[in-house]
Structure 1
Amino acid sequence: MKTQDYSARHLQVLEGLEAVRKRPGMYVGSTDERGLMHCLWEIIDNAVDEALGGHGDRIEIVLHPDGSVEIRDRARGIPVDIEPRTGLSGVEVVFTKLHAGGKFGGGSYAASGGLHGVGASVVNALSARLDVEVDRAGKTYGMSFRRGEPGIFDDGRKEPSPDAPFTPFEKSSDLAVVGKARRGVTGTRVRYWADPQIFLKAAQFSYDDLVMRARQTAFLVPGLIMVIRDERGLPGTPAEDGPHEETFAYTGGIAEYAEYLARDQPVTDVWRLQGSGRFTETVPVLDDRGHMVSQEVERECEVDVAVRWGTGYDTTVRSFVNIIATPKGGTHLAGFDQALMKVFRKQLEVSSRKLKVGNDKVDKDDITAGLTAVVTVRLAEPQFEGQTKEVLGTSAVRAIVSRVVEQGLTERLTSTHRGDKAQASLLLEKVVAEMKSRISARLHKETQRRKNALESSSLPPKLADCRTNDTERSELFIVEGDSALGTAKLARNSDHQALLPIRGKILNVQKASVQDMLSNAECAAIIQVIGAGSGRSFDPDVVRYGKVIIMTDADVDGAHIRTLLLTLFFRYMRPLVEAGRVYAAMPPLHRIEVMGGRAGREYIYTYTEAEMRKKLGEMAKKGRTVKQPMQRYKGLGEMDADQLAETTMDPRHRTLRRITLADAARADEVFELLMGSSVAPRKDFIVGSAHELDRDRIDA
């Protein structure tokens, strides 16, 4: 656009939007991918607000190959008539005027996510091009903007592009009728190209984030259909080989959302806690003459909470205000936490003798261990901290949420219904077990300094500890059975290698409660020896050994014991796995004794059937004789100390397999599938994977 074409009208239109372009971080948080996605949320949330008000039941988001994104809805459509104060069409007001919209107390929205009236205009200001089409009254209206300024793009017969010649409107804007709409069809379509002058070159729309948000919204607005279509063909995305589309629609609301978020076995069902409360606040409103005046307004706050406790110790809490996520919480979450503490402390006080609580006090972490919660509130014009709406600030909401949750939880925990009574009892026992586990871990940490030979030790007597005080050098071998222990004691380097024998197959902690795990002698011994606590109180900085090595027999039982041990580490000492400090020893399967040759008698160890056959072939080609029968190790106890040291324990010769955790969520699913309480999914997995079985690997 040339300088001489820049009229006074352009100054008026761009006056507010230029501030957005100069300080984009103030409105969208940043100019990287996070800010880019925030712009997209602004337009999507406008469509969701319509659905929330009962207008429209389908929203489509299309990621186009040219980098643009399109949002389509079937709601009422943006108003197209002239707004009297500005003389502009409703479409132009929404997309060019800051703090303009239908959410300032005019009665259009009882509860909405968009509140400040800047969302659509901010996106427009930060877009190289934005096209909007509105279906209303049998007509389709269209308007285009370039960096916030309305005008006309000359695309010719080509696809729409922000680089097409652009002519701004001079004297008055024109909301053109660009087509006909079917009778009764209304809705809005917004397509925009983010401005490369504002956003970083590497920033692009995240398909995974979009899917997560769409699924979340579909849960929060039951009956709403969210469709995501990716046409970009980016490598590493589901659309890599062609357009990819996913549809999300749920009818169960936040109860279904809590069930989806929960990964562990349930202790309780999903409990729905609902209620409302009223409060008054002083707000500025527009009078008939367009002046701002203060006025006392009575508000209603609707509270809907879904809670569910499981056997795990991870906590998952999602909070929302009018379906807008508040990842940093706010007054609604503070009220929720306050009610949890009050209710559980009261219930544990009532049942202190039965639950053997003693004088200990439960804290928030004990209560929220294994909790999955979705906390939602709906109210008109909530006060947020900033346009990014990450923290709710309306103070009256805290007391209302606290009261609703307190009443609902108390009813559940004191219910005489058989099902609720059994679940309440299990939940209170779990909370007490978490409290005792935390106190025990704290006491243990206070006394868990490594003991040397001259000091008394509270460690298990069956531990054969090492002498070094250097944690980085030290290694703990968890060995299967006393027979292997005897050989391992002779094979180890006692300076830095410690041994802890376990008796057979330990408890499957995926199925067991925290209390059962702590009561199990083998599990308790492992946790005590490692010395860093368990669960959420686990502290990787005070682990007593640099490496923890699981050394089991190279057979099916050994593999099962290793899986049980890994389940314990994954569930209760996960940071140790994440840090790559857990290993599996690789004892050999065969010992080949080769006769003759220059070197005389020679011993070769092999670790797989294929490796053994390869070595035999190599020896045959060299004309060397292999003593028959070859030794096939059934267990560690069959090796003598020298053999065990050379093959499995000596760092100069051994092979260790490091246990890593690339994807925690996926690992969680696998552990639950293989080790959890549900038999049917495990049976399906075994049957479905049967064709992958290699019969030659069966040792029979």
Structure 2
Amino acid sequence: MIVTSEYSAHHLQVLEGLEAVRKRPGMYIGSTDSRGLMHCLWEIIDNSVDEALGGFGERIDVVLFPDGSVEVRDQARGIPVDIEPRTGLSGVEVVFTKLHAGGKFGTGSYSASGGLHGVGASVVNALSERLDVEVDREGKTWAMSFRRGEPGVFDGEGPDAPFTPFEKASTLRVVGKVAKKVTGTRIRYWADRQIFTKDAAFGFTELEQRVRQTAFLVPGLELVIRDERNGDSTESVFRFDGGISEFAEFLAPDAPVTDTWRLTGSGSFSETVPVLQPTGAMIPTEIERRCDVDVAVRWGTGYETVTRSYVNIIATPKGGTHQQGFEQGLVKAIRSQIDQNARKLKVGNDKLEKDDMLAGMTVVLTVRLPEPQFEGQTKEVLGTPAVRQIVSNVVNKELTAQLTSSKRDDKAQASQLLDKIVSEMKARISARTHKETQRRKNALESSSLPVKLVDCRSNDVAQSELFIVEGDSALGTAKLARDSEHQALLPIRGKILNVQKASISDMLSNAECAAIIQSVGAGSGRTFDLSAARYGKIIMMSDADVDGAHIRTLLLTLFFRYMRPLIEAGRVFAAVPPLHRVIAINPGSKPNDMIYTYSEQELHALLTKLTKAGRRWQEPVQRYKGLGEMDAEQLASTTMDRSGRLLRRVHVDDAEAAARVFEMLMGSDVAPRRSFIVDSSDRLVRDRIDA
């Protein structure tokens, strides 16, 4: 490539229309991997949701097809099919080929919507190898097709069919008839693989989460998603007639301290915006805006904070002025109440911080306003400045009213909440004071570690491992089998406390849980500090039976609830001890072969292989019921020696889904667990029960 110092006007490149989208897709959809692919789908779905918000259509269908295409169907008003006077094009072609064109710039079609830049549908079209749109309107079905944003006609199905672009004028075809009152839009498109990466794919789980979220936010709207990619059809239907109160209850990971409180209100502000005149000129005009605020908030017994914020149904995962306003109003209201009750709450001279109030809080924050200012097309951050103060005022006023309510239940909940917040403050201050004692102890300080801990000699955290061993009998064998330089051992007696049901104080007072937290040395809960962990790997080593699996589940529950960063960092493992030892007999004086298997299937396959080879083995085949049945050499070679062992890393791909599973299997609410057992009984394989 030759670089010249000459730089003049002819070096400037002007990208016309949708060329700019194809040249710089990241500006419009964030990335060209699966996230960008999903963002395109959100753009189409959100257009249908905006119609439902306006009272048009009660159902939206999303279908994923085996050929990689996706279709979105709604029963709304349908995209306009008449001619737009300025361009001379049909409304359908304007929507799909012109950037910054749509019905959401003024105040006539949508009072509050998520699609505000007028580029969503046209960007999806530009980044699609093929896009087909059908509109039911005026008693007819109208259709139009596009190839990478260019209108024309395909001769056949799929994106590889021959394509003929329109030469002189585009045509909106009539392909059928419908009843006069039937309206709606169907959009099917194939993402352009010239733009998106090879591994970009629609995630059904992610789609389910987003559609479920929308169903919560638009009460009464039914959303159906169907995945036909694997030959069969997987369908999920979402409809919630509640609202964000129901959403907050769904998201909450812990038992309640308060009910779900609704904080609602509104405010107005003025802003100067350029308004398009009939002459085509843009004239700055001062416009009065209204912002409606609706918040559902509740506090639970845990320490996690779950926050979801939305602007006109569009998620804003990175927050913005509305979230800043919520936190501002929250801090103001709660600080005021704690100051007024300082003596009763025994606050002393300690200063309350925002994090103390957020602990255990689940909040769904929604605001609706015309033409919000987002930072970028991906709409992840709200930028409208005036919204902050409006939300702050509403939250401060409504939350103060809730905390000072004279109703008996409200007074009791307010008292419990303030007690919890003050307790969080004291725990934070205490944790900071004793933080240094959570660091890795040297030899002189080892007396402060659990008595049963058999520590390793190395100070290299990356190379050190902590084995949590089931029972004292296995500990004796493990001591002889371990690498004492890098491997530490902590025995636990039987089954530890089920921390999913227990309170934090019960967990901390439990000897086994306290010993594990103390040995790891990084604290627990909100004060957990991953950098202070004393070991690079935490390995659960339990027996290969039902009780061992139960102990492993209880340990995972402890790590998941109170030391989750360890799992997220991939530092928690489960050891995989063998189930069987087969001694294959060799002829003559040659030593016999000792072969270990890890499942019944593997054992049967091995015995079949030995039989075919004409080899015998010692009977009976040894079946290990526990780690204590192995001698040190066997335990080392199969389970502890780094060169030959097998470990299973514990992953948390979806923390929210995992939390719900833990709550169902280990929580205090029996009904969902009973339903799960009854519904799943037909999948039980009796031969797999170790009894």
DSSP-derived class of the 1:349 partner: helix
DSSP-derived class of the 1:318 partner: strand
Q: Note the C-alpha offset of 1:419.
A: 3.3
Alignment-derived partner of residue 153 in structure 2: 153
1:126–1:148 contact (8 Å) kept in structure 2: yes
DSSP-derived class of the 2:18 partner: helix
Alignment-derived partner of residue 241 in structure 2: 251
Q: Deviations over 1:511-557 (max 9, x none)?
A: 12324333445433432232111123322332223444556788877
Distance in 2 between residues matched to 1:269 and 1:261, nearest whole Å? 14
Amino acid at match of 1:539: D
From 494, 512, 517, give the equivalent of 2:507. 517
Distance in 2 between residues matched to 1:497 and 1:110, nearest whole Å? 64
Counterparts in 2 of 1:489 and 1:426: CA distance versus 1, 3 Å: farther
Alignment-derived partner of residue 179 in structure 2: 182
Alignment-derived partner of residue 131 in structure 2: 130
Alignment-derived partner of residue 674 in structure 1: 665
Counterparts in 2 of 1:598 and 1:190: CA distance versus 1, 3 Å: closer
Alignment-derived partner of residue 236 in structure 1: none
Distance in 1 between residues matched to 2:39 and 2:552, nearest whole Å? 45
Distance in 1 between residues matched to 2:468 and 2:97, nearest whole Å? 68
Counterparts in 2 of 1:372 and 1:652: CA distance versus 1, 3 Å: closer
> Does 1:278 pair with 2:268?
yes
Alignment-derived partner of residue 143 in structure 1: 144
Distance in 2 between residues matched to 1:632 and 1:169, nearest whole Å? 77
Q: Note the C-alpha offset of 1:304.
A: 1.3
From 299, 304, 312, give the equivalent of 2:289. 299
Distance in 2 between residues matched to 1:370 and 1:321, nearest whole Å? 24
Q: Note the C-alpha offset of 1:395.
A: 0.4
Aligned-residue sequence identity (percent) comes to 68
Alignment-derived partner of residue 461 in structure 2: 471
Alignment-derived partner of residue 7 in structure 2: none
1:445–1:531 contact (8 Å) kept in structure 2: no
Q: Which moved more, 1:286-295 or 1:421-430?
A: 421-430
DSSP-derived class of the 2:17 partner: helix
Alignment-derived partner of residue 7 in structure 1: none
Distance in 2 between residues matched to 1:165 and 1:495, nearest whole Å? 69
Question: Between Structure 1 and Structure 2, how many residues are aligned?
Answer: 668
Q: Deviations over 1:85-117 (max 9, x none)?
A: 333333333233322222222421111112122
DSSP-derived class of the 1:190 partner: strand
Amino acid at match of 2:673: R
Counterparts in 2 of 1:178 and 1:625: CA distance versus 1, 3 Å: closer
Q: Note the C-alpha offset of 1:396.
A: 0.5
Q: Note the C-alpha offset of 1:606.
A: 10
From 204, 209, 212, give the equivalent of 1:207. 204
2:639–2:646 contact (8 Å) kept in structure 1: no
> Does 1:230 pair with 2:220?
no
Counterparts in 2 of 1:466 and 1:394: CA distance versus 1, 3 Å: same
Distance in 2 between residues matched to 1:115 and 1:569, nearest whole Å? 44
Alignment-derived partner of residue 168 in structure 1: 166
DSSP-derived class of the 1:143 partner: strand
Q: Note the C-alpha offset of 1:615.
A: 13
Amino acid at match of 1:215: R
2:545–2:625 contact (8 Å) kept in structure 1: no
Q: Deviations over 1:639-673 (max 9, x none)?
A: 9x989987999759997865623545454344323
Q: What are the equivalent positions in structure 2 for 1:48-447 lying under 5 Å apart?
A: 48-150=49-151, 152-153=152-153, 155=155, 158-159=156-157, 161=159, 163-170=161-168, 172-231=169-228, 233=229, 240-447=230-437
Q: Which moved more, 1:578-587 or 1:672-681?
A: 578-587
TM-score relative to the length of structure 1? 0.81
Q: Deviations over 1:301-349 (max 9, x none)?
A: 0111222333333332221111112122111111122223223333333
Q: Deviations over 1:359-418 (max 9, x none)?
A: 333333333333332211100011111222121110011111112222232333333434
Distance in 1 between residues matched to 2:545 and 2:534, nearest whole Å? 29
Q: Note the C-alpha offset of 1:214.
A: 2.2
Counterparts in 2 of 1:480 and 1:435: CA distance versus 1, 3 Å: farther
Alignment-derived partner of residue 12 in structure 2: none
1:588–1:605 contact (8 Å) kept in structure 2: no
1:585–1:648 contact (8 Å) kept in structure 2: no
Amino acid at match of 1:258: A
Alignment-derived partner of residue 9 in structure 1: none
Alignment-derived partner of residue 26 in structure 1: 27
Distance in 2 between residues matched to 1:40 and 1:614, nearest whole Å? 47
Q: Note the C-alpha offset of 1:449.
A: 4.3
Amino acid at match of 1:411: A
DSSP-derived class of the 1:104 partner: coil
Q: Note the C-alpha offset of 1:52.
A: 0.8
DSSP-derived class of the 1:80 partner: coil
Distance in 2 between residues matched to 1:229 and 1:615, nearest whole Å? 43
Distance in 2 between residues matched to 1:578 and 1:148, nearest whole Å? 42
Amino acid at match of 2:166: P
> Does 1:575 pair with 2:573?
no
DSSP-derived class of the 1:16 partner: coil
Counterparts in 2 of 1:276 and 1:488: CA distance versus 1, 3 Å: same
Q: Note the C-alpha offset of 1:292.
A: 1.4
Q: Note the C-alpha offset of 1:470.
A: 3.5
Q: Deviations over 1:205-246 (max 9, x none)?
A: 443333332222222111112222334x3xxxxxx1334433
Counterparts in 2 of 1:87 and 1:514: CA distance versus 1, 3 Å: same
Counterparts in 2 of 1:95 and 1:432: CA distance versus 1, 3 Å: same
Counterparts in 2 of 1:503 and 1:108: CA distance versus 1, 3 Å: same
Counterparts in 2 of 1:88 and 1:366: CA distance versus 1, 3 Å: same
TM-score relative to the length of structure 2? 0.81
Counterparts in 2 of 1:528 and 1:53: CA distance versus 1, 3 Å: same
Amino acid at match of 1:63: L
Which sections of structure 2, spanning at least 5 residues, go unmatched? 1-14
Distance in 2 between residues matched to 1:245 and 1:51, nearest whole Å? 21
1:270–1:308 contact (8 Å) kept in structure 2: yes
Amino acid at match of 1:113: G
DSSP-derived class of the 1:91 partner: helix
Which sections of structure 1, spanning at least 5 residues, go unmatched? 1-13, 234-239
Counterparts in 2 of 1:677 and 1:142: CA distance versus 1, 3 Å: same
Distance in 2 between residues matched to 1:129 and 1:585, nearest whole Å? 50
Q: Note the C-alpha offset of 1:37.
A: 2.8
Alignment-derived partner of residue 4 in structure 1: none
1:609–1:697 contact (8 Å) kept in structure 2: no
Q: Deviations over 1:127-167 (max 9, x none)?
A: 344333332222333333444344x4162xx4365632414
Q: Which moved more, 1:281-290 or 1:423-432?
A: 423-432
1:452–1:467 contact (8 Å) kept in structure 2: no
DSSP-derived class of the 2:365 partner: strand
Pairwise CA RMSD: 4.5
Distance in 2 between residues matched to 1:122 and 1:276, nearest whole Å? 34
Q: Deviations over 1:542-588 (max 9, x none)?
A: 22234445567888777655543332222111233455544567899
2:254–2:302 contact (8 Å) kept in structure 1: yes
